[in-house]
Structure formats: structure tokens, C-alpha cells
Amino acid sequence: MIAIIDYGVGNLRSVEKALHNLGYEACVSNDSAVITQADAVILPGVGAFAEGMERLQTEGMDKTVYRVVESGKPFIGICLGMQLLFEYSEEGGKVKGLGILPGSIKRIPDSLHLKVPHIGWNKLDIVRDNPLLNQLTENTYAYFVHSYYLEATHRQDVVCTTHYGIDIDVVVNRDNVYGTQFHPEKSSSTGMKILDNFAKISIK
């Protein structure tokens, strides 16, 4: 079973529905016991970084995330959920994140004269092979909605980038922890394949 963390932020039901459509058992939960007993865990999210962190901490879900990650079970953050895995965000000042992965979240520069938030389809540039991307081709697009982007500290953690005025780190993996800046549940067949690959990692 795959648990989707409910902390009051994110496209919870759309992620759950996507997994059900793929034939996997999934549930949305804010029960730490249910989440820690799952085979794999997803941290979704949309909205502001500071609010996301506050809600995680208020619900006690930050501690649950740490327990899952430390257990070695597959864990993936989606959009804001991915950003929260890192050390801090410039959004709303300098707001501390979970610090599970090294890196920071920065605003897409106004100097690029691009539309912010970045909304739409962008090509994924695959940096290295990864089980999350099994059976995906080089000509792969995903759906983004964000104003802030990840700058990972260690390049070996980066699986994919995309270009939106600058190169942006959009898929990461270190050990059992994965993250996508885009929304797999909104990224058509590409996103469904990524969710399928994540589920298969959890049942190996």
C-alpha cells in the first residue's frame, strides 16, 4: 500500500486516483501509524513553502517523514512536497525546510522576463539513468506549476533538469528519497509511467 500524506496542502485525491487507475492500493492519511506502515509514501503539495512547513509541523507529519525516510522505504515528494525536502526556501524570506536533501529553493528570476508562475509543459532533460524514469524516452514532457525552483547542492542527486530561462533541477534521487518538481498526476502518460515506476520500486 502507498500512503499519501495529508497535511492540508496538495492534490491529494488526484494522486490517489492516479495510483488507483494504475491498479495500486493507495490511501490519503494523516495517521502516522498508517503512513509508517505503508510500503511507500508520497508527500504532495501546492502553495507556499512556509505554509507547507507550518502545516507539516502542526500535524506532526515532519516527524513522520523523517521516520519513513530513515526506514529506507521509497519516499517521493511532488512539487511543493519535493521542495520541502531541501534545506531552505527564499519564498517568504529564508524559511527552513526538512533538510533531508542538500539544496535550496529560489525564485525564478524576474530578470529573465518570463511568465511567473511557470505554468505548462516543459521537456525533461535526463541527466542520468534512474528507475523512476524506466521506459521513458529523451523526448519527454511534464506539466509544471511553480514560481520557485530547486538548486540542488550535489549534482549526483539530480536525475532530470528542464530549461525555463535557466536550467532547473526537476527530478532528484538520493537513496530511497525521490522528488519531482512537476505534477506526475497531471502529466499524462509520462506522469502515469513515473508513478507506476515509483510503485514498482516499492514492491520489489
* Whether pLDDT at 204 is above 90: no
Q: What is the pLDDT of residue 68?
A: 98
Over the stretch 56-87, which tens digit does the pLDDT of each residue have? 999 999 999 999 999 999 999 999 999 999 99
CB 28 within 8 A of CB 17: no
Domain boundaries, the chain: 2-202
Q: What is the pLDDT of residue 12?
A: 80
In the numeric block, the cell 507550518 is attached to 54
Among 182, 183, 189, 125, smallest CA distance to 159 is for: 125
Q: What is the pLDDT of residue 111?
A: 86
Q: 82-86, 118-122, 136-140, 182-186: which range is least confident on average?
A: 136-140
* Whether pLDDT at 121 is above 80: yes
* Whether pLDDT at 24 is above 90: yes
Say which CATH topology domain 2-202 has. Rossmann fold (3.40.50)
Residue 164 pLDDT class (50, 70, 90 cuts): very high
Over the stretch 128-141, which tens digit does the pLDDT of each residue have? 999 999 999 878 99
200, three cell numbers? 514498482
Average pLDDT, rounded, for the chain: 94
Residue 36 pLDDT class (50, 70, 90 cuts): very high
Catalytic residues: 79, 183, 185
Q: What is the pLDDT of residue 45?
A: 86
* Whether pLDDT at 120 is above 80: yes
Read off φ and ψ for residue 167, nearest 5 degrees. Answer: -75, 130
Q: What is the pLDDT of residue 57?
A: 95
Rounded to a whole number of angstroms, the CA Rg of the chain reads 15
Rounded to whole angstroms, what are the CA distances from 124 to 1, 38, 68, 102, 117?
29, 30, 28, 22, 18
* Whether pLDDT at 124 is above 90: yes
| Number of helices followed by number of strands (H, E) in the chain | 6, 13
DSSP 155: G
